[in-house]
Structure 1
Amino acid sequence: MSGLGELDLPGTPDSPGAWDERSREAMRERGIPDESAAVPVAREADSASGGPRRGPVRRAAADPVKALMHRHRELCQRAVDALEIAAGLEAHGVTDRTAARFRHRDVFSLAEEMYARVPREAKTPPPRPVPPAAPVARARWAVVTLLTLLPGALCAAAVAALRITDGQARLIAAAAGTLAVVLGLRTALKRGPLSRAGRGTPVGRPRHGTAAWTCWLVGYALLGDGLLAAAVVGGPDTLPTGDTDGPWPLTPAPVLALALGCAPAAWSAHLFASGARRRLAASRGLEEFAASVRPLLFGAFGLFLGALAALVALCGIALGEPAAHAGALTLGALLFLARLLTVHGSTHAPGLVLTAAASAEGLALATVFAGRLPGCGVLAVPVDTLVTAWGLSAVPALACGAAALTLLIHANRTLTRASAHATAERPC
């Protein structure tokens, strides 16, 4: 390869450096003959015979692995184990078929040789982080569990405050409860399986305003059905019950279920991440790893949906509301997949899909309101037909369901790659 000679590497052809010594050692361990010794042997034979030979001199064979190490020198030097090199190679497009050109059966075997041939000041590998003792690990997991339960507890308190207050006190309770839930959720996302602490560099440019679109989706789950019902009936000043002086209709059951769902979401994400790391250490090929992780992904996703469905039903019974399973489940699936992808380094696709889902809900409301203008009634026909056939929850269910399906397909391709799990070890 051109330009390799310009790199500042120790050693010359007559005085091999650290890279050549480790290369020869690794080749001897793999049983590959060291052809670089042919040149000195030929020179000694020439001097013994009194002159150079007439025939061609055998040159040392090119070392493709060494060239690959030059290309990914920074990755090799900062890697703490061969698995990190394998994940980095996969992120750069190196597959098992590519590894065959370097005389290896898979990327993992190639990464092991590259890691063994990296020159280091010390012969021993860098010390691995010592796992915490069992009492310490249990204490940390208890803290994380309490943090994941915090948003649900605060949301339950806020809903109870809305139930027992009226007038101005109700507005104050709503504002204070919303602030408390937001702060509790922010605290829960800073630690544990739903946190990005200790993760690698995000893949792709993160979209700004993702949190705002998430708040819009949750706000629609709380207020959207009442607003849409009023718009379909005749305008925002007319409530479905015909009582224009009554309180604005709220549907807190889906929001409460989503807040309580932070705990099963964290547990499902933890099971998926820990299982994927174990399979990464045991796998010997990228395709084998992807095939073993895919059931884990769908299992964690199904486990969360099952827990969320139970929470939606219980919250509906406790608050005396009809269980809107379709809208709540699709929104919960969308938020879970978006966070799971964000935790594992993919930020662009979740932000884009959340924006699309929120925009679809906003467009549905806008078309209904625009249909009340003279000559624009045709704009409201699609939403009116959908609401008449499937109910008010059909709009968020369709928008969030399509978005969640898109993210599930993307997660099936992204989270089954080794590079999505090559991150710093964390206690939880």
Structure 2
Amino acid sequence: MSLPDGAEVDLGPLGRARVVRLLGQGGQGFVHEVVLGSGEALALKWYRPQSASAGQFHEMQRLVELGSPHPRFLWPIAMARVEGQPSFGYVMRLRDPRYLELSYLLADTDREGRPLSVSFDATIGICRQLASSFLRLHARGMCYRDISFGNVFFDPRTGDVLICDNDNVGVDDGTSRVLGTPLFMAPEVVRDLSLQTLPGTDTDRHSLAVLLFYTLFLGHPFEGARTGGGLRDEGWMLEHFGTEPVFCLHPDREDNRPSSVVQQYWDLYPRFLQDLFVQAFVAGAERPGRRVTEGQWIKAVDRLRDGMVRCRGCATTCFWDVAEPQRVCRACGRPLQPAYLLQVGRRTVAVNPLATLRTDHLASGVDESSVVGRVRAHPQAEGRWGLHNVSARPWEATYAEGQRVRLEPDRTMEIVDGVRVGVDGAVVTAVRTGAV
């Protein structure tokens, strides 16, 4: 049963806390808000007696000792006991109410039923933070085992992510007692009726790919015309998600084509992103070793953001790519190729009003990326562009003729062919494409 308001909880090294209110409950237990003597509020997950096994206590204690791989995980901070109670729990940071469960993205409404307005930039941010977070988790030899809508929350305005229910996490040693959530489980787990195939890093990568597909295309990768009929029972689940899963956008099969919404979003994105999802759900469906890694997803969504452009004809947000220079606007058909590109190492940024220069352009392995420069259109002269320094440091620009200019913070320089800008140890070079 849940703890009464006012109950005192022993948090070990954190001291004692008092139960303030019940926040919610689930199959395993209850979530309360508790307050420390210092006034700091935390969330307490208190297990039901049938879930409060010695094995569960040992696993949670191990997570507390290992520590969080990143603040995006609402990680167990300390174990919790109550005098006279046979059960136990753990405390974690409270989730800010601005974060919504990821399923709200598909519903396109908030908790009160009001329409959501999630930008493409925020959507890409969700994908990047998810991939980066699970990369950090896997790099520590751990796996999540139950990646799904219910465990991921996002800020609709910024795309910032929080990952909850981290008592699913375990060391990737093949001893999992968690199989996952239907529709997100890897095919090899679904089809093993003996329950001997257990989640690990490879199955996490399938679940992550499903979550990213939902986020970008608003549908499930294995649902389409082929799965539309029949009763959604265990047999349906076993066939379509275990023994015979068919990617709805399979390049060689047309018997499971998706809804019009999924198809429209598929056509919106460049070929390199499509190819990655084909790898994830065709080769990766049968061969776990072929699944797309977190690092591959990070590079892909960075490339996607670098090619995000605003159509010069109708202002629709679209995606251009250097490998597909002839891409046109999805709304009016106008060519999308920008007049200039910014090249930073192997990265190519399309110059347009949506373009930014970020810290992940300047150095590899950047997780918490921030904007250091913004592209600005000339207010009077169409076709002229500027790069605005929004960082705290000056930049040095060298023009093709050899002239050097110091660009102070909050100042703008014109983008012209061949100019090279030194930004925090990296060199940004402007290249004219010939497009008008």
**What band does the TM-score fall into relative to the shorter chain?**
under 0.3
Higher relative contact order (CA 8 A, sep 6+): 1
Q: Normalising by structure 2, report the TM-score.
A: 0.24
More helix per residue: 1 or 2?
A: 1
